Chains A and B, each alone.
Chain A
Amino acid sequence: MENNHFEPTIIGFTCNWCSYRAADLAGTARMKYAPNVRLIRMMCSGRLDPTFVLRALSGGADGVMITGCHPGECHYMEQNYKALRRFLLLRRVLNGMGIEPERVKLVWASAAEGARFASETTLFVEEIRKLGPLNWGKSDSEPKTVDREELSTVHRPSSELEVPA
């Protein structure tokens, strides 16, 4: 698949009180934005279990957008701070797994910010388009074992592999 034909699949998590209403506003105001996001409404961004993000990425999503109320404006006092901390830690873990941390994005959007929701979504889709498809684990199902030739002609060590004594 060529990159310019690549339509990213994005899973978006929205909170019931701010960002979902922002998406709603963008819709009723007929603002145009990229149609790649599949939104899932939760009561609060604090409900976002990192499992949801991992499930989305391992199940074929190319990016995940987490949205919530602005800091200090959470309907449940301060659960969006929890979402923020989870997001920051999750990004570090994903980085260790060889996934570009930019594939997961956190956006604050209040119920009045339909335009912001629309522009951030479009921007994110373009960012993911540049990164290309994730296709998690797809090549895993191909040859199960490394072929014998490949192992016999294993690459010689590169200098960066060596550790100083």
Chain B
Amino acid sequence: MTAKPKFAMYWAASCGGCEIAVLNTHEKILDVDANFEVVFWPVAMDAKYQDVEDMEDGSILLTLFNGGIRNDENERLAQLLRKKSKILVSFGSCATEGCIPGLANLSPVGEIVNTAFNTITTDNPHEIYPRTSYDVPEGELHIPTLSKILRPLDQVVDVDYYMPGCPPESHQIAAVIDLVIKVIHGEAELPPKGTVIGAGHSTVCDECPRARNVKMIKAFKRIQDIAPVDPTLCILEQGVPCNGPATRSGCNARCPQAGAQCIGCYGPAEGVMDYGARLITAFSSVIDANEPDEIEKILDGIPDPTGQMYRFNLAGSLLKAAKPAWQK
């Protein structure tokens, strides 16, 4: 067999940071080129959806799909690429658990459109709103229609592997590329379907070099409000809500090492069904108060509890979206 296996990468509701992370693998990207034929990658090469539709089913060996499913175009592409790919990887936090675009699941879709097109920061005196269809002499034009809520990829199609991270760390991407190339040459085997690849199996705390003691927190503070931050002591212990205890390892505790709290971009740690619930448990365990009034006062130090618990995981959580978003 002389033909190289085919590779595709697609972005749905995402920021493009995942593709940057892939390019950040530096010379490893040449290995991708040497071992794969890149057939579809809108950010890097010109290709039409029709080209993908014309391919044989299952003819793409590996598709990295990043971004959540926010509109009917995203959904169509997810289904199309599922059909054409042997291995579909939910790549990055958006596809895996909704990520920042998933926070829109707190608001009804009309409110989102209003915020984008008519707030005090957007000058729109003629109240021009996007129309999803428009008649022109050549026919009717359509733009994608928003869905009520954003859904992670696996709520729409069957997914083979998950690769968390916002974005996935480049050294983890490089390791996964190496693995797939080995599999192609028959030197390694693929992990079982549904495996989280390119990440650790524990929590960020396990990779964090900061010293940990028994935590007794009397007040939650924002990191800019404590000065100086002790560079060697656990950040949560210093009163800053750090999401490390609930978050999957794999990033080498980058943020805590750089002096900032973990915000949870690697998603739920192994075995965690609901990220926010695990974090509630973790924070509740370290609060040093037993009286309801005092506990409430300490909790006032977390100004946006829902955002804190579900910054990256709202769409992938058990509740998936806030009531106003799915109700109407």
A97 touches B280 (CB 8 A): no
Task: Name the distance in Å between B68's Cβ and chain A's nearest Cβ.
Answer: 14
Docked pose: A58 CA to B145 CA in angstroms: 27
Residue of B118, B120, B146, B147 touching A163 (CB-CB under 8 A): B120
Docked pose: A55 CA to B319 CA in angstroms: 8
Contacts of B277 in A (CB 8 A): 49-51, 53-54, 90
A145 touches B71 (CB 8 A): yes
Docked pose: A82 CA to B289 CA in angstroms: 10
Verify if B186 is at the interface (C-beta below 8 Å from A). Answer: no
- Contact indicator per residue, chain A 65-100, by CB within 8 Å of chain B (1) or not (0): 000000100000010011011101110110111110
Interface residues of B (CB under 8 A from A): 71-72, 75, 106, 109-111, 113-115, 118-121, 127, 129-133, 145-149, 273-274, 276-278, 280-281, 283-285, 287, 289-290, 292, 295-296, 299, 302, 304-307, 309-310, 317-328
26 contacts between A and B (CB under 8 A): A50-B276, A51-B273, A51-B277, A58-B320, A84-B290, A84-B295, A85-B289, A88-B299, A93-B280, A93-B306, A95-B306, A96-B106, A96-B307, A97-B322, A98-B322, A98-B323, A98-B327, A136-B323, A143-B148, A144-B147, A148-B131, A151-B145, A156-B114, A157-B114, A161-B119, A164-B120
Docked pose: A136 CA to B285 CA in angstroms: 29
Contacts of A99 in B (CB 8 A): 319, 323
Docked pose: A54 CA to B154 CA in angstroms: 20
B319 touches A148 (CB 8 A): no
B290 touches A81 (CB 8 A): yes
A146 touches B147 (CB 8 A): yes
Verify if A29 is at the interface (C-beta below 8 Å from B). Answer: no
B127 touches A156 (CB 8 A): yes
Contacts of A1 in B (CB 8 A): none
B295 touches A54 (CB 8 A): no
- Contact indicator per residue, chain A 134-154, by CB within 8 Å of chain B (1) or not (0): 001101100111111011101
B323 touches A145 (CB 8 A): no
User: How many cross-chain pairs have Cβ atoms below 8 Å apart between A and B?
Assistant: 157
Given contacts A92-B305, A146-B147, A162-B120, contact A97 B295 (CB under 8 A): no
Interface size of A in residues (CB-CB distance below 8 Å): 47
Contacts of A145 in B (CB 8 A): 71-72, 145-148
Docked pose: A140 CA to B295 CA in angstroms: 35
Verify if A57 is at the interface (C-beta below 8 Å from B). Answer: yes
Residue of B129, B133, B320 touching A154 (CB-CB under 8 A): B129
Given contacts A86-B281, A98-B323, contact A92 B127 (CB under 8 A): no
Contacts of A146 in B (CB 8 A): 109-110, 145-148
Determine which residue in A58, A139, A154 has the highest number of CB atoms from chain B within 10 A of its CB, and name it: A154
B327 touches A151 (CB 8 A): no
B120 touches A165 (CB 8 A): yes
Contacts of B113 in A (CB 8 A): 151, 154
Docked pose: A28 CA to B324 CA in angstroms: 44
Residue of B149, B273, B292, B307 touching A140 (CB-CB under 8 A): B149
B318 touches A55 (CB 8 A): yes
Verify if A30 is at the interface (C-beta below 8 Å from B). Answer: no
Chain A residue nearest in CB terms to B144: A145
Task: Name the distance in Å between A66's Cβ and chain B's nearest Cβ.
Answer: 13
